[in-house]
Amino acid sequence: SIYNHTTGCPMGGSCSAQYASLVLNYLERDVDWSTLPPICRYGDNYLLFMSPSWTPVRGSCVPPPPPTTSPQLFMSKVKRVIEKASSMKLTVEGWGKSIPFLESQIFFTNG
């Protein structure tokens, strides 16, 4: 059987990635990125860079984590801030010294 796509942008089409980027840019318009740790978005994947030395700008909606805070707890706070501002549902796929990202493995070292 053949599916007749009548609305939206077909997934896998030649302009799907550009369309997704436009939609995400629109949804992210109310996120104040200056109040969050450094974040990189590639397509629909976010990569958050966090170190113990990170300090937020004045007026940050996510205060720096105390030394006793677990990465999971801090990540959940950052996730809530982005979800609230963008009305998107985010999924945390990993954290630590080695994480999967875009079908690759990223390793973090001290040097």
Question: pLDDT 10s digit of each residue in the chain, 111 long?
Answer: 687 777 776 677 778 788 888 888 888 888 888 777 778 888 778 887 776 566 655 555 555 555 556 777 778 888 888 888 888 888 887 777 788 878 888 887 764
The closest of 47, 76, 52, 51 to 62, measured between CA atoms, is 76
**80 vs 74: CA distance, rounded Å:** 10
- pTM (predicted TM-score): 0.63
Residue with tokens 């940050």: 60
Specify the long-range contacts of residues 90-96, CB closer than 8 Å, at least 24 apart: 90/46, 95/71, 96/71
Angle at 93 between CA 90 and CA 96, to 5 degrees: 125
Strands (E), 1-111: 39-42, 45-48, 98-101, 104-107
Beta bridge partners of residue 46, listed in sequence order? 41
Torsion of CA 73, 38, 20, 43, to 10 degrees: -100
